[in-house]
Amino acid sequence: MKQSIQNIDPARPGPADTRQGSRMPLAVYVLALAIFTQGTSEFMLSGLLPGMADDLGVSIPDAGLLISAFAIGMVVGAPLLAVATLSWPRRTALVGLQAVFIAGHVVGALAPGYAVLFVTRVVSALAYAGFWGVAVATAVALVPSAAKSKAVALVAGGLTMATIVGVPAGTVLSQSSSWRAAFWAVAAATAVSLAATAFAIPAGGGEGEEPRSVRAELRGMARPQLWLSYAITAFAFGAVIVTFSYLAPFLTDESGLGEGGVPAVLALFGAGGMLGLIIGGRTAQSHAVGTLAVGLGALAVISAGLALTAHTTLVVVIGLTFLLGLAGYVTNPALQSRVFTLAPDAPTLVGATNTAAFNVGNTLAPMLGGLTIGAGYGYTSVAWVGAGLAALGCVGALWAARLERAGRRQAADASPAGTGFEKVFQNV
């Protein structure tokens, strides 16, 4: 059978290799490494909050706003940087954004007070958001269509590895030295990933130097299903991050865990997240909406379970923390890859906007958690907030499933053959 030669890259695996899951381009692994180094900074504050609050002379809820500051930068930066760098070679954009991220962390490590640190969190997040959008689009462009979900899951896996390795390591470093040492470590690790990016990413970013325009990508995003997917993304990520953001004080103040045990439980959360990514990466291609509905339903139940058992058996709380990571991340590959299926002609902006949607949840959820803590409801209240957000996301996923079924019926009615069109919509 004659094979299409469009967009063939000698370093890219063929369809057979992709089906077997035997290979991915080195560049995809490098992108995962870069997400790991930067993602460590995104989440490590959950283990640094007590020490940062003491050092900076602020309350823990105020220190928690540094998480929201980072998320605000992500929300603004993802679409803004995607548009600003759309005409750049992707390798240039990726390297430049990492350089800004490193500079932000160097200044943050030297910050004399809360205000300067707050600004550096926003600036670093702007760069990281732009990197996320370009990185996911690059990974998708580097592999055949059958491997796109796996490529996205692998890049997103860098973020989960950050929760398994980076966040606990940052917590240990902070406890043994200071939170500033954790910032220096992130800057150094990101410098290593920058060098790897410059070496491994193809000059054309996997696109064959095809021209891209803002107008064309905006046209490609004019789909209601896409924006429903963004709403589900915000609810899904907000549901897990609101509990994770305050997990350290939740475990120590509510469940009685010693401070030395916090890094191990954070790593257990990350291990659950990695297992969730593996499962979600396998189910996202053929059952994207089903993965979302089941994962979000489970996340709502697990979050409520954490709130109800916080003061009872520590072993149960630790087990539920593992399950929280699993349910929180099993939806990630579907959330990340489905938007490219819904809007294939807007690869850069659609991924960047999805990153912004993740961080709408990442911004608002810790703020809601901080409000409930400040109102005197304690750290268990953040788990109830997570349960509510997950339930709303589950409703959105069920709505998406209904729209998907309606689309299949319309396609079948419009085609005499019926089944041929149904196949087109099978993986939407």
Pick the residue with more confidence: 10 or 298?
298
pLDDT at 101 over 90: yes
Cα–Cα distance measured from residue 248 to residue 257, given in angstroms and rounded to the nearest whole number: 9
Is 424 a residue whose pLDDT tops 50?
no
Range among 120-129, 153-162, 415-424 rated most confident = 120-129
Q: Which of 208-212, 309-313, 319-323, 370-374 has the highest mean pLDDT?
A: 319-323
Rounded CA-CA distance 125/120 in Å is 8
d(CA 238, CA 388): 10
- The highest-confidence range among 31-45, 69-83, 200-214, by mean pLDDT, is 31-45
Average pLDDT, stretch 400-422?
70
Highest mean pLDDT among 177-191, 352-366, 404-418: 177-191
The length of the chain, given as a count of residues? 428
Q: How many of the other CB atoms lie within 10 Å of CB of 388?
A: 18
Q: What is the band of 12 on the pLDDT scale with cuts at 50, 70, 90?
A: very low
In the predicted model, what is the mean pLDDT of the chain?
83
Residue 421 has pLDDT above 50, yes or no: no
Mean pLDDT of 395-405: 92
Residue 18 pLDDT level (bands cut at 50, 70, 90): very low
Q: Tell me: pLDDT of 152 over 50.
A: yes
Angstrom distance (rounded) from CA 180 to CA 194: 21
pLDDT in tens, 106-134: 999 999 889 999 999 999 999 998 898 88
pTM of the model: 0.72
pLDDT at 19 over 70: no
Tokens 């004080």 sit on residue: 249
Element (H, E) at 161: helix 148-161
Please tell me the distance from the alpha carbon of residue 43 to that of residue 25, in angstroms, as a whole number.
27
| Cβ-count burial 328-352 (b if 16+ within 10 Å, e if not) | bbbbbbbbbbbbbbbbeebbbbbbb
Among 11-25, 361-375, 376-390, whose mean pLDDT is lowest?
11-25
Q: Name the most confidently modeled range: 8-17, 47-56, 92-101, 309-318.
A: 92-101
**How far is Cα 23 from Cα 202, in angstroms, rounded to an integer?**
17
First-residue to last-residue Cα distance in the chain: 27
Can you say whether residue 418 is alpha, beta or left, with left for phi > 0 and alpha for psi between -120 and 50 degrees?
Answer: left
Q: Please list the alpha-helical segments (H only) found in 255-331.
A: 262-283, 288-309, 314-330
Q: What pLDDT score was predicted for residue 312?
A: 84
For residue 84, how many C-alpha atoms fall within 13 Å in the half-sphere facing its CB? 16
Residue 13 identity? P
Amino acid at 409: R
Largest CA distance in the chain: 70
Place of tokens 């992707």: 90
pLDDT of residue 33: 95
User: For residue 98, is it left (φ>0), alpha (ψ between -120 and 50) or beta?
Assistant: alpha
- Whole-angstrom Cα distance, residue 343 to residue 223? 8
Cβ-contact 158, 170 below 8 angstroms = no
Q: What would the mean pLDDT of 340-362 be, rounded to a whole number?
A: 81
Residue percentage of the chain with pLDDT more than 90: 35
Angstrom distance (rounded) from CA 388 to CA 380: 13
The residues, any chain, with a CB within 8 Å of residue 393's CB and separated by 6 or more, are 232, 235, 236, 239, 292, 296, 299
Region 337-359 average pLDDT: 81
**Cβ density class 390-412: b for 16+ within 10 Å, e for less:** bbbbbebbebbeeebeebbeebb
